A and B are shown apart, each in its own frame.
Chain A
């Protein structure tokens, strides 16, 4: 409460207030780190927005920062205002969780040259606007390899047709083709991120058409896809992505891919705080073992045969070394 009153007092005087907001930012830098987060949807569901929220929590817990987030429901007109809100309140680091925040960050950065703007799944680097990209096509490439080696037909259920999802699916398809160029893959988008029912039916329909390796990737609606898989029996395989969905589909999940994006973000923010900010855009990949965790289930009723595991490990090493291109450009 006290800090809010103080802030309002400081900011009361219009543009003078903006200047005043910037001054303490330089002074109180080390002891009072403030980080804001913009997410394009609800953090209450497992999925993309939760990942951003966890990153924010990580910075709070490990660096002792004051944190705050705002959900913007994919409405571009409100992006700039949210950046302004944080920047004008003396937040030194603002994470825009999604490439869609890039344009707004660039325009606000002109007025707040001291503030750091981190943009998820973007490869921008302009001044203090820095893209942080988790290259999801890499783990999906590995899943594609596994699907092609263990199954007959693959199915992909996406939320909306946006780059992070398209890129992940592209990685999967490239992985499949590296094993068998003619392996059939079907792909469907439900057109939103909320309709779990549609995600489930999309998975069921693919399985009915012969798919035996199905991957849902639809943020909040993802869980519906795993339910469809679980109800179709143990012959259908899948991988748990971004969160642990094993309780939903215990008989089907071969392994787990989680991005500990939080750890990556914490390191970047730590660097900024300690005067060693990133000098280019940041790409997290299989090379960053702390960030990208790709594990097989050991205890489950289904397992990837050891021979395939070894091959996958070899492919993963090649990707980490930069010898395999998992997606175009």
Chain B
């Protein structure tokens, strides 16, 4: 819905002088940022009210959750670390949602990626890191792409709702991972159900020595840019969007709707798989049963807050990472239950959809 609008604006802008063009771009960017910001503000206000009503300090929402996490350098690197999977998944889902493919399965695709990355990462000792790290990451992306591609295939070939199949594939991936780390992939020496440690040559290098922040953050931002260019500056991306708006029209225009749907699912799955690969090769260095605290589901909200624009996913992914860090800190300092973050995320989503409706309503009425 938002997209058609942007296109309409874009067409109108083509003829006007450059100054006005820039002015409109700035105004458009301001609107694009202001509305999500207002949504976040509403959600935080609701969070503060909820805290105050239940005997906590409402001001904590701002003092601790938002400002508190910037207390030192390490905290900032930890936020960026959390932002890596959120940006990757969020940007990938933008492509799927633009194609009207409701991929709810990023969580499962993340696990599929983490499993394939681990398989490669524990198998080839002594490989050069220049070869090994990319191999692990590609394996993760492939694993996620295949897991997402299954749902895409079922949709294109059998018209099976991708919403239902991706939810089912989530469970299968989670249960499968649980089986792998308690069974065949289990590290016999370890007490905890976990895989063997990835060979050191397969570890994603740190970006800043002495912190856990690895180069994944650069990759995530770069890929979000690439996906933006793909969606809005390439004919292939244009086809993906047209199929999303109207698959029948796309067919008349000679576009293969099925192929574009598959592409959208594989891209979003691949991004989620890559996020899984970065988690095992960059953070935990082992595969566990609970490797993701729900990044795949949070990524849906990230994409949505970004207006399904991969560039926006960089910002909204960062914001959600702040909220997540902040909720952990809030529990440490004020014993506020960490689940507050889920409530705030839920309200953010509802506010965003309400704002989108308000922007569209006047046009509808006319």
Contacts and interface: CB of A to CB of B under 8 A. Distances in A.
A and B physically associate: yes
Interface residues of A, number: 37
B100 interface: no
Given A77-B283, A80-B212, A99-B191, A14 B72 contact: yes
Interface string A55-84: 000000000000011110111111011101
Interface in B178-206: 178, 182, 191-193
Interface string B153-188: 000000000000000000000000010001000000
A8 B71 contact: yes
A324 interface: no
B192 A100 contact: yes
Nearest to A38: B332
Contact of A15 (B73, B191, B332): B73
A76 B182 CA distance: 16
Interface string B281-302: 0011010111111000000000
B107 interface: no
A88 interface: yes
B353 interface: no
A163 interface: yes
A11 B71 contact: yes
Interface in A204-234: none
Contacts of A162: 192-193
A161 to B, nearest CB: 5
Interface in B280-339: 283-284, 286, 288-293, 328-329, 331-333, 335, 338
Contacts of B182: 161
A294 interface: no
Contacts of B290: 73-76
B192 A75 contact: no
A239 interface: no
Contacts of A82: 328, 332
B328 A12 contact: no
A125 to B, nearest CB: 15
B68 interface: yes
B74 interface: yes
Interface in B197-256: 210, 212
Given A4-B333, A77-B284, A78-B328, A18 B74 contact: yes
B72 A77 contact: no
B78 A77 contact: no
A163 B190 CA distance: 10
Given A15-B73, A161-B182, A81 B191 contact: no
Contacts of B68: 4, 8
Interface-central residue, A69, A70, A163, by most chain B CB under 10 Å: A70
A328 B276 CA distance: 36
Contacts of A85: 75, 328-329, 332
B289 A12 contact: no
A169 interface: no
A58 B293 CA distance: 30
A11 B284 contact: no
A71 B191 contact: no
A18 B332 contact: no
Given A18-B72, A76-B290, A81 B332 contact: no
A175 interface: no
Contact of A76 (B72, B291, B329): B291
A187 B192 CA distance: 20
A326 to B, nearest CB: 17
Contacts of A84: 74, 78
A70 B334 CA distance: 10
A175 to B, nearest CB: 22
Contacts of B332: 36, 68-70, 82, 85-86
Contact of A11 (B72, B286, B293): B72
A6 to B, nearest CB: 12
A188 to B, nearest CB: 14
Contact of A77 (B71, B210, B291, B329): B291
Interface string A169-193: 0000000000000000000000100
Nearest to B57: A1
A161 B179 CA distance: 11
Contacts of B210: 111
B242 to A, nearest CB: 38
Contacts of A68: 332-333, 335
B303 to A, nearest CB: 21
Interface in A31-72: 36, 68-71
Contacts of A12: 71-72
A17 B333 contact: no
Contacts of B286: 76
A195 to B, nearest CB: 14
A99 B192 contact: yes
Contact of A88 (B72, B193, B289): B72
B78 A191 contact: no
A191 B71 contact: no
Given A8-B71, A99-B191, A100-B192, A73 B293 contact: yes
Given A13-B72, A77-B284, A84-B78, 11 more contacts: A8-B68, A12-B72, A18-B72, A73-B290, A74-B290, A75-B290, A75-B292, A76-B288, A100-B192, A162-B193, A163-B191
Closest 7 CB pairs of A and B: A14-B73, A75-B293, A74-B290, A163-B191, A11-B72, A77-B283, A17-B72
13 contacts: A11-B71, A11-B72, A15-B73, A17-B72, A17-B73, A69-B335, A71-B338, A73-B290, A74-B288, A82-B328, A84-B78, A88-B74, A100-B192
Interface of A: 4, 7-8, 11-15, 17-18, 36, 68-71, 73-78, 80-82, 84-86, 88, 99-100, 111, 122, 160-163, 191
